[in-house]
Structures are given as structure tokens and as C-alpha cells.
A and B are shown apart, each in its own frame.
Chain A
Amino acid sequence: MEAISHAGSVLGVLSKDGIVLAAEKKVTGKLLDLSGSNQGGYGGSGEKIFMLNSNVVAGVAGITADANSLVNYARQAAQRHLFTYNEDIPVEVLAQRLCDLKQGYTQYGGLRPFGVSLLYAGYDPHYNFQLYHSDPSGNYSGWKATCVGANSGTAQSLLKQEYKDDITMDGAIDLVLRVMSKTMDSTTLGSEKLEFATLTLDPETKQPKARIYRPAEIDALLQKQGLGKKEEDTEMKS
């Protein structure tokens, strides 16, 4: 739990037609090779945000090695479900699987628990868009908007004030970026320090679309939102 409160923050917000996830990267620097995430396949892996299945994206906060192990387990669990039931794993079921694993490590074996908190953002036909948070004890809960990692307390109270039940996707993106800018260490937001992802529904096929933004796309998004006046208009139009 201590390691998590010092780790880079991850923030998630649920909206009517999608979910937004943003994370602050702690491992950066000029020598870091980012070419993998620039041209990578699905953009499926970053440092903080990972695609677990075509309908679930997760943000991690805590010990990176533990997080990678959990993400791998989650991906296998999702495929096992697909193998047996021929359907995308429901988000809560995936959260439960991971939490059952994490809880096992607190009760059996004499091994140490996973020092990771995760935010799961996903879609399933039963409950539409959902956001879950799980911690090393194996406890999980559903949220409309939440934050883990450094400064999560301030971020959480900011979210509590600003969040509205009928928030739109654009409104959610705007809210996430504003809260991130207030809680992040650095003075300005930029693609070197920020990881960003959205989960929406494709309007024609009605299938969930997970999109982990590439660094260039993050910069473009920040440019767009950073224009100021425009964001208020999008919120009022809806």
C-alpha cells in the first residue's frame, strides 16, 4: 500500500458513452527509448496503461514487475473465458478473477502480496461501461470516477466536486486532463509524462473499442483541449 501511494497516479472517469483513463508516468528521461509505443501494434502496452482484452483496459499503480505479472494473468483469464464461453469476459468477472488471485497471496503460501492497485475500465453487454478499482488485499469496488497512486486523495476530492452523472465523453476527457494537471508533479502536461486511453462503443458495429493513445496523439489531444474556450462549448452543447 505504501509503494502504491508513491507511485504515479492513475485516474479513471466513467461517462455516458465511454470511459477515460489517464496515468502519470514516473519513469521518463531523454535516454528512454519510446519507439515501441510510437509504432507498436495495438498500442497494447505502455508503462501504466494496458489492454487486457478488446473490451477492457487497465491502469496500474505500484510495483511495476508485480503489475506486469498481474496483467499477464488477466490477459490469460480473459482468453480462457473467451475459449469457454465464446464471449468477451464481463468486466466484473475479470476483476473478480484478479482479486481472487491477489487474495490468495494474502492467505496462503507465505508469499508477499502483489503491490499493485488497478483501475479496470471496460464494457460488457450486461452493465455497459464500468470502472473498477482493486487493491493488494484483493478487495474491489465499482466507481463512477476514481484515482489511485500519488495525490489520489486530492484527485478524488476534485473528482467528487466536478463529476456529474450525465457527463459526456468530451466532458470526461476534459475533466481528466484538468485533474491530472492539478495533481501531477510537473508544471505542464505532455506526452512524455502522460499516458492516456479511452474505451468507447463503435457506433455501427456496437463493439467496444479500446484506444491507448500514442504519444503523438496525446500531444494532439492536449493541443485541442488546451485551446480553452472550446471545452466549455462542448460541455454546454450536451
Chain B
Amino acid sequence: MEVSFAMTGKGYVLLAADTTAVHSIIKVKTDVDKIKELSPHLLMAYSGEPGDTVQFAEYVERNIRLYQIRHTYPLRPPSAASWIRRSLAESLRSRNPYSVNLLLGGYDTSTYTPHLYWMDYLGTLVEVPFAAHGYGSYFALSLLDRYHDPEATVEEGLAVLRRCLDEVSKRLVVSPGKYKVKIVDKDGIREVEL
């Protein structure tokens, strides 16, 4: 099952998503990148209906980039989240809605604050300190409730993330083997090795 987690820390947002692509009982690919880089300081982890996910994620990525090119500066995370949410809400009452759940993590370079948003296919949008999608969320959210620290350093944040991933591997029947972890802070986006 597709699993993604995210949490904020002191001046950064950490996102992790599994890397398996599944078709019925077969793992088709084990190194998929499910975290799109929408802009220099905006990351989006997606999960849901195969096909819809990539289609919507690329649609969002291209439109965010268009805004940036047209208006010389990128959309700030709160505004980008609102735009994405509206796209999902409009799709919901159309002939064929997108069935995609998202975790949006970004760093606002005008106010120097990290932001994390949980979005689902209905167009629900909430700003949260930590979040998760998929069956893995049942385990991760309890752990994050207990161990999350919004002022944690990157190392401390990664330690908490490792706990979540270990718990999912231990207890979930079809747990993913590998995860891709990305972090966004004032210096931009980079991948992290766990």
C-alpha cells in the first residue's frame, strides 16, 4: 500500500514516500519517485489512483512553474496550497474526479517559516505540524503525536522519521521496502539518505 509521511522542524519540512509501483500482486518498480519538486522551495508527495496521481501531480507542477515564470517570483506555500486545493475541489464535481491525496511541504522565503499541508481527493486542506497518508498513517500518527518536536533539528527529525518507517515495516502486512526522503529548507530542496 502506498505510504507517505511528513513533518516540520526548525526551518525545514521533511517528506518521505515509498518507492514501489504495484499492479495487482506484482511490484512493477521499486525505485519510483513520488515526491514532486514544484518550485525551488515546494515539495509535494502524492498517492492514490495510479495514473491519476502522476497526471495531477504533473499538472500542478507545470502550472506552478508557469506562475513562477509569468510573475518572476514563485507562489508562496499557503497560496500554492490554496490553488491546488481549488483544483481538487473543482475536479470532485466533474465527470471524472482525480483520486489523489497529497502532502505539500514548503518553505516560505518571505516570512522564513516552514509549512506543511495535508490534502485529500475531496479538496480537504489543513495546515499541520506532521501528517501521513495510507495505511502507514495508522502507525505513524501515533508515533508522531508522541515524539514530534516542531523545533527539532534535521537529525532529530530524521530519527523520528526512522522510528515511523521501522514501525510500518514491523507491523504492516504489505510494507514497502524502500523510501525516498526529501527535505526543503531555506537553501532549497535536497534528497536525504536514511
- A residues with CB within 8 A of B: 83-87, 90, 92-93, 96, 125-127
Residues of the B chain whose Cβ atoms lie less than 8 Å from the Cβ of A127? 73
Known A-B contacts A125-B110, A125-B111, A126-B110; the reply to A85 vs B71 at CB < 8 A is no
- Whether A93 lies near B71 (C-beta < 8 A) is yes
A87-B111 CB under 8 A given contacts A92-B71, A126-B73? no
Task: Judge whether B43 is part of the interface by a CB distance below 8 angstroms.
Answer: no
Chain B: residues with Cβ within 8 Å of the partner, total of 14
Q: How many angstroms from the CA of A192 to the CA of B73 in the assembled complex? A: 42
Cβ of B76 < 8 Å from any Cβ of A?
yes
Known: A84-B82, A84-B83. A90 touches B76 (CB 8 A): no
Question: A87–B79 contact, CB under 8 A?
Answer: yes
The reply on B14 being an interface residue by CB < 8 A is no
A85 to B72, CA, bound (A): 16
| Cross-chain contact of B71 among A86, A87, A90 (Cβ < 8 A) | A90
B residues within 8 A CB of A126?
73, 110
Given known contacts A93-B71, A125-B76, is B110 in contact with A86 (CB within 8 Å)? no
Main secondary structure of the interface of B (DSSP, over half): helix
Which residues in A have their C-beta under 8 angstroms from that of B111?
Answer: 125
Which of B69-100 touch A at CB < 8 Å? 71-73, 75-76, 78-83, 86
Whose C-beta in chain A lies nearest to the C-beta of B82? A86
User: What are the residues of chain A within 8 A of B79 when measuring CB–CB?
Assistant: 85-87
* A85 and B83 alpha carbons, distance in the complex (Å): 5
- Further contacts, 15 of them, CB under 8 A, given A87-B76, A93-B71: A83-B86, A84-B82, A84-B83, A84-B86, A85-B79, A85-B83, A86-B78, A87-B78, A87-B79, A90-B71, A92-B72, A96-B71, A125-B110, A125-B111, A126-B73
Contact of A87 among B73, B82, B86 (CB under 8 A): B82
Tell whether, in the assembled complex, residue A85 and residue B110 are in contact, meaning their CB atoms are under 8 Å apart: no
Q: Which of B141-158 contact A (CB under 8 A)?
A: none
Q: How far is the CA of A87 from the CA of B76 in the complex (A)?
A: 9
- Report A50 CB to chain B, min CB distance, Å: 23
Closest Cβ neighbor of B85 among chain A residues: A86
Interchain CA distance A124-B13 in the complex, whole Å = 25
List of B residues within 8 angstroms of A125 by Cβ:
76, 110-111
* A139 CB → nearest B CB, Å: 17
If A125-B110, A126-B110 touch, whether A85 touches B82 (CB-CB below 8 Å) is: yes
Which of B71, B79, B86, B111 lies at the interface centre, i.e. has the most chain A CB atoms within 10 A of its CB? B79
- Within the complex, the shortest CB–CB distance from B108 to chain A, in Å, comes to 9
Minimum C-beta distance from B89 to chain A (A): 11
Expressed in whole angstroms, the Cα–Cα distance for A92 and B73 within the complex equals: 11
Most B CB contacts (10 A, CB to CB) among A83, A92, A126, A127 go to A126
The winner among A83, A86, A92 for most chain B CB atoms within 10 A is A86
A86 — which chain B residues lie within 8 A by C-beta? 78-79, 81-82
> Closest approach, in angstroms, between the C-beta of A96 and any C-beta of chain B?
8
Q: Nearest A residue to B72 by beta-carbon distance?
A: A92
Give chain B nearest CB distance to A1 CB in angstroms.
28
